[in-house]
A = this chain, B = another copy of it.
Amino acid sequence: MNVTDKTIRHVAREANVSVTTVSRVMNGSEKVSPATREKVLKAAEKLHFTPSRTAIALVTKRTRTVGVVVPYLDNSIFSSMIHEIEQTLSELGYFLVIAVSNNRIEEETKSADRLLAMGAEGLILSGADHDAALLSRLGVRNIPVIFTSIWNEAAEYPTIGYDNFGLARIAVRHLEKLGHRSIAVLHGPSDRSDRTRERIRGLVEGKSDRTTLLFFEGEVSAEAGARGTRRALERSPKPTAVIGLSDIIALGAIFEANRQGLTLPADLSIMGFDNLEWSEECCPRLTTLELPTRRMARAAAEAIVAKLETDQPIAPICFDGSLIIRESTAPA
């Protein structure tokens, strides 16, 4: 990689052994006498030898790299997911390459191909909804894939995630128990995200017949949350509760409610989804659904490495999330 870089051959000469032997001690493997091992280690040290990952990759046909593509990076649980994956991978001696898709199928496809081109041996994707051509390409190349942030046993690839449907149902029931019968739902682009669709389905199927849901679609941003809230409050009768299918959307709702002079949660209950870092600090503190992001991330990373190392099949896992009741929801 560099002018000053030494190769295994330099080390071999320095230690007066064969390249084979150097290779052996560098890999800690095989039978090498302690004396020889010591000699080699000393020589390597002296020459500042670093094995060429490129050469290793070429001959072993292994890059020890996994790719993950997430819909967003900012204001989302995905950044903590990435962090956990990176940590796990690193512990296992693997590398991580990432890309963001902005929740767009075409961008995701492009990103995934890019990650593959970078040498990713396995892919962790979000949701189960992907470009068919991409999936078939992954299939023929026999690339291990895991779908995360979702739970769907019928998906083309194993899912390691959580039950968006069930969680959303918990959310709507919480609101119903408080007496809310007219609820505004603020969500991101549903056609681009099966996670969102699942949540919406959970809301719809989880609610009782007496409850009315009003849907407002926008981006996953505070701005969209504010706008959705504005539109919701123009309706009559006004909804008594708002649920943002992302905390950042809920935050926008809080901003807008504040701006309209409402008293929270008395005038309007607001719920989020994600339990982001600031959610607890919010005013009012945000009632939300905690997602098992870290556990999920770790499990996914471990599973894909296991698949890569020993080719053992990836077992789908569904982690539990939980309702966190705080101050932003109150009786209707």
Contacts and interface: CB of A to CB of B under 8 A. Distances in A.
Contact of A52 (B50, B58, B222, B280): B58
Contact of A223 (B226, B258, B277): B277
Given A54-B119, A75-B75, A222-B278, A114 B95 contact: yes
22 contacts: A1-B63, A1-B141, A2-B143, A3-B142, A53-B118, A54-B54, A54-B57, A73-B83, A74-B74, A75-B75, A83-B100, A86-B99, A90-B114, A95-B114, A95-B118, A222-B277, A222-B278, A225-B281, A251-B278, A255-B281, A255-B282, A258-B258
Nearest to A72: B79
Contacts of A95: 97, 114, 117-118
Contacts of A86: 99-100
Report copies per complex: 2
A23 interface: no
Interface in A220-276: 221-223, 225-226, 248, 251-252, 254-256, 258-259
Contact of A98 (B3, B61, B98): B98
A292 to B, nearest CB: 18
B277 A4 contact: no
Interface residues of A, number: 59
Looking at chain A's contact residues, the main secondary structure is: mixed
A231 to B, nearest CB: 15
A97 B97 CA distance: 6
Interface string A66-96: 0000000111100110110010001000010
A65 interface: yes
Contacts of A254: 283
A50 B252 CA distance: 46
Contact of A54 (B63, B83, B97, B256): B63
A121 B1 CA distance: 8
A140 interface: yes
A4 B141 contact: yes
B248 A278 contact: yes
Given A74-B80, A225-B281, 8 more contacts: A2-B143, A54-B54, A54-B58, A65-B118, A73-B83, A74-B74, A74-B76, A83-B100
Nearest to A264: B258
Contacts of A76: 74
A97 to B, nearest CB: 6
B277 A74 contact: yes
A2 B141 contact: yes
